[in-house]
Each structure stands twice: as C-alpha cells, then as structure tokens.
C-alpha cells in the first residue's frame, strides 16, 4: 500500500482514504437498495418521515407507492379537510397539501395521517419551518466529531427544534426513489456524524430566525461534480457530453463492469450519485441549497463552470420550486504537498468558482483565512457555516442589515510605483483590518514583464496602498492568488477579502493533475 500511495497524486490518496472510511467505518455504510419492491406495498417516499421539518409556506407533496387504483387519504392536523387521491397505473400516488407560513417562536408539533383502506401511516413529531439541502464532497461531509472543539460543540447541540437527515452513500446506474437515512431531532448524539457545516448553519439560522430548521446532507467525500448531474442533462450539453459523459461511456467501467457494484472509481463517474442521492428528493419542498465541492475537479476550468452552472439550473428545474437559493463555498488554501509559494493553479480554479456567482440567486463564501496548507480538510468549519448563514439572512430572509460580503476588488489607481486599491461599496462597511494586527499579506504587483513581486501593503481608510521597490511601474495586481495563502485581510465584520487578479495573462502550464 505505501508504494502505491507514493506514486499517485495526493488528492487520490485523500480520495482513497475517505472512501476506505466510507466503506469500513462503523459510522458509515453503503445504501444500495431497489427502488420499488417486487410486491407493491403501501409506503411513503424515503424523505417523508416522522421527526422531519416540513417546508413552510409552500405546497407539500406526499408521495409513495400502493397498488394501482387504490384510494389514499391524507389528513394534516392543521387542515380541516383531508386530501384524497388515487394511485396511477405505475402504482404511485402523489398528493399536495397546503402548508402555512409560521411565526417566530412557533414550535408546534404536528402530525399527518396517510390512510389506504385499513392501512395507516402516521408521520408524527413534525415541525413546520425551513428546510435546507446540503451537498458536495468531503468538506461538506466533514462531521461534527472532527471539528475544532468538537466535544464542546456537540455538547451544545441539544436543539430539538432543529432536525437533521444524513443520507448514506448510495449510487445507481438508473434513478432511484429510495435512500437510507433517518430524520432525527438534533442532539449531541445525532449530530456526531452529521455535516458540521450543515449543523452550524442550521443552529445559526434557528437562533436568528427563531423558527424550526431542517437540514439534509446528501453527498459523499471524494466525489466529482459531474456525479451530481443527471445523465440526460449531461447528454444535452455538447461540452459536458464531450468532457464527461462520452469518455465515461467509452471506458471499461461502463462497458465491462457492473456500475451498481462499488469500486474506488464510483465517486468519479458521472450521474451515479445524482441517481442515488439527489433524485429521491426532487418532490420535497425545500428553502434552498448549500454546496461545498471542487477539490476533485480542481484541474478543470471552463468545463467546471459550465458543469456546476448546469447543476444549479437543472436542480432548480427538477425540484420545480422556482429560482431556489444556491449558496456555495470556495475551496480553501491547500498546498497539495507542493510547498512552493509561487504555484497558483488552485488560485485559477478558485477564480472559476467565483464566476458561478453570476448565476442568478447564488452567492459564494470565502475560506482563505481558515484554511490549512497541510490539510485539505481544515477543521475550523464554524466560520464557514456562519458566513453561509449571513448570506441566507441577507438574500433569502431580507435582513439587509446583515453584512455577508468580504472586501471585493473594485478598481485600482496606478501612480508610478504606488498602487491604491479600492473595494466595492458595501464590502468594507466599518473599514478594513487584519485578523492578526499585522500588515495585509499576499499582495503582489507586476510590470509588463509579467513577473510578480511581493508588495508592501498598508491600510489607508477603506483602501489598500501598495508599494514595491522591485517594480518601478506596476501594471497588474494579484491578491492571495497562489495555492495556499492563509490570509489576514478582512472587513469589520471579520469577513475575509476575496482573492483577485487584475491581469488577464494566460495561466502557466503547471496545472496539477488528480
């Protein structure tokens, strides 16, 4: 094993180890079950369970299976009259019930009774609130037991008005309607293996909004973004088809293997995780999406932008609830075992990630100040979750006084050997500062020769003034535009500055392979 690991790129080592944990850890298991039993039984869809949060102020779908032509009656305790539907020829039924908007402090427990003949299913201990769907790879999967101060954080997680659902790793060659995972009241025990970002995000929203929050994590470590996009969606886009789908369909994994049997390539294949872990939720009413993924696609550029933009739009289309919020995390600083401060291929990838925020109703949070050059899974997850919550509070919940953007480059004024950097209005509210009291780090300037030199940076009001004795006439600036700079520049809300460059020079041919 040690010989093998020294001959592959470090990201493959992390992917291998993470998948090993998925396969053999006592806290994780593989869910791979048939979508419908051979004998049709009266059953509800996997997401519909006791203890769940039901999305407020939207129609709520109740769906499941029963023999064709059977009558199903749904009665929610907040409605005077029930809803009656019949199952179709494919042994499926679907009903819609209205769900009211709730007020702050309303933690009333509800139930829904679903009856078919003499059979009855009761969904009990339900709360009405907001539901957020989290997905992505290992940094979103990163569990509460692994974070900094885990014992203290988990001890404080006795919050029964938050409900969590962790979905076990599942993949299918065709869309599946089922998964394994249970809705649970939030407690120190139930969050132990749950997404740290998902929990901290839910806790912050519940604290600020004073309503029930439900949070789902459905993703897996080491996974690529194309794994979360439907096969037909990839096939409909020529770039995505050529980049991801056709090579897969021509490869041995597709032509010679059973895709429903796990291999260490499973998380790298297109659409399989979508079929097992996203598709089953498409009828579920939710408030929005959280996404943290990218490490496994870091060598890509334009194809990743197209891919993830398509993921966003296709999820919205298939969940069919309008322009659902999609808030995502930019990858953190990491050296990939190459402690060379001049390498910048990861910075070029981050730049592409930022372009995703051009898609409507999306926003990106920055992690440049909480990364670890030696750890692809930085343990300080709470600030990331709180930044996602800030985004939601401002953009989704209209709390416009909540600042959610860190300093974002606007323009620069060049004056011989001095450069003054100005930031977008609203991103430097309260002024600029550093989190360690030192001068701002990781500013670089270049002349026409395209050779960058580190600059001295000074905070002057809401601007940064750069000087560099090695560059007489600077024409370009870069900030935190290398692989692993852990930054210190932020605004008064402790939100870090966004990495940027002012040049359009071609990326060097030193891109890492995975």
pLDDT digits 0-9 by tens, 12-21: 445 545 555 5
Q: Say whether pLDDT at 236 is over 80.
A: yes
Per-residue pLDDT tens digits for 53-96: 999 999 999 999 999 999 999 999 999 999 999 999 999 999 99
Q: Say whether pLDDT at 459 is over 80.
A: yes
Is residue 510 very low, low, confident or very high in pLDDT (cuts 50, 70, 90)? low
Per-residue pLDDT tens digits for 386-440: 999 999 999 999 999 999 999 999 999 999 889 999 999 999 989 999 999 999 9
Is residue 241 very low, low, confident or very high in pLDDT (cuts 50, 70, 90)? very high
The predicted pLDDT at position 506 comes to 96
Written as six digits, the tokens of 448 are 């026409």
Q: How many Å apart are CA 38 and CA 36, to the nearest integer?
A: 6
Task: Tell me the domains of the chain and their CATH numbers.
Answer: 200-396 (3.40.50.1110), 409-501 (no CATH)
Written as six digits, the tokens of 318 are 């298939």
Per-residue pLDDT tens digits for 471-503: 999 999 999 999 999 999 999 999 999 999 999
Q: Find the mean pLDDT for residues 34-59.
A: 86
Q: By percentage, how much of the chain surpasses pLDDT 70?
A: 92
Q: Note the pTM of the prediction, 2 decimals.
A: 0.93
Q: Which residue bears the tokens 């995000």?
A: 201
Per-residue pLDDT tens digits for 98-157: 999 999 999 999 999 999 999 999 999 999 999 999 999 999 999 999 999 999 999 999
Among the listed residues 176, 171, 347, 364, the one whose alpha carbon sits nearest the alpha carbon of residue 271: 171
Among the listed residues 90, 6, 14, 63, the one whose alpha carbon sits nearest the alpha carbon of residue 375: 14
At 92, is the secondary structure helix, strand, or coil?
Answer: strand
- The mean pLDDT of the chain is 93
Beta strands in 312-431, from DSSP E residues, in sequence order: 326-329, 362-365, 409-415, 418-423
Written as six digits, the tokens of 147 are 């974070």
Q: How many Å apart are CA 54 and CA 284, to the nearest integer?
A: 9
Q: How many Å apart are CA 317 and CA 319, to the nearest integer?
A: 6
């Amino acid at each position: 094993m040690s010989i093998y690991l020294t001959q592959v790129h470090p990201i493959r080592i992390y992917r291998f180890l993470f998948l090993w944990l998925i396969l053999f850890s006592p806290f994780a298991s593989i869910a791979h079950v048939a979508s419908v039993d051979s004998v049709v039984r009266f059953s509800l869809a996997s997401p519909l369970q006791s203890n769940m949060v039901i999305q407020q102020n939207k129609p709520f779908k109740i769906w499941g299976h029963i023999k064709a032509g059977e009558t199903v009656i749904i009665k929610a305790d907040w409605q005077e009259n029930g809803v009656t539907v019949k199952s179709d020829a494919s042994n499926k039924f679907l009903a819609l019930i209205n769900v009211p908007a709730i007020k702050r402090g309303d933690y009333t427990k509800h139930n829904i009774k679903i009856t078919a003949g003499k059979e009855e299913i009761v969904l009990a201990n339900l709360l009405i609130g907001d539901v957020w769907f989290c997905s992505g790879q290992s940094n979103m999967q990163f569990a509460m037991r692994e974070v900094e101060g885990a014992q203290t954080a988990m001890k404080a997680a006795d919050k029964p008005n938050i409900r969590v659902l962790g979905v076990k790793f599942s993949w299918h060659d065709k869309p599946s309607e089922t998964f394994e995972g249970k809705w649970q009241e939030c407690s120190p025990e139930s969050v132990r293996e749950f997404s740290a970002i998902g929990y901290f995000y839910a806790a912050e929203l519940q604290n600020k909004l004073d309503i029930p929050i439900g949070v789902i994590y459905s993703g897996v470590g080491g996974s690529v973004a194309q794994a979360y996009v439907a096969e037909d969606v990839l096939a409909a886009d020529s770039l995505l088809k050529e980049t991801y789908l056709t090579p897969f369909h021509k490869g041995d994994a597709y032509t010679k293997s059973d895709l429903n049997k796990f291999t260490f390539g499973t998380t790298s294949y297109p659409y399989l995780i979508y079929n097992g872990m996203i598709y089953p939720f498409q009828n579920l009413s939710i408030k929005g999406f959280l996404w943290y993924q990218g490490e496994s696609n870091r060598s890509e550029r334009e194809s990743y932008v197209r891919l993830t933009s398509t993921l966003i739009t296709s999820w919205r289309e298939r969940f069919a609830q309008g322009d659902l919020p999609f808030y995502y995390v930019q990858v953190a600083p990491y050296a990939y075992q190459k402690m060379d401060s001049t390498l910048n291929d990861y910075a070029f990838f981050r730049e592409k990630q930022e372009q995703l925020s051009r898609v409507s109703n999306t926003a990106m949070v920055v992690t440049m100040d909480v990364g670890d050059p030696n750890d692809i899974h930085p343990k300080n997850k709470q600030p990331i979750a709180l930044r996602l919550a800030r985004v939601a509070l401002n953009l989704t919940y209209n709390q416009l006084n909540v600042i959610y953007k860190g300093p974002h480059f606007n323009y620069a004024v060049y004056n011989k050997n001095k450069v003054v950097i100005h930031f977008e209005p609203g991103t430097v509210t309260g002024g600029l500062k550093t989190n360690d009291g030192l001068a701002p780090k990781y500013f670089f300037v270049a002349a026409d020769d395209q050779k960058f030199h580190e600059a001295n940076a000074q905070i002057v009001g809401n601007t940064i003034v750069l000087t560099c004795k090695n560059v007489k006439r600077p024409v370009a600036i870069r900030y935190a535009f290398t692989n692993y700079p852990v930054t210190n520049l932020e605004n008064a809300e402790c939100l870090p500055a966004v990495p940027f460059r002012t040049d359009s020079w071609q990326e060097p041919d030193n891109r890492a392979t995975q």
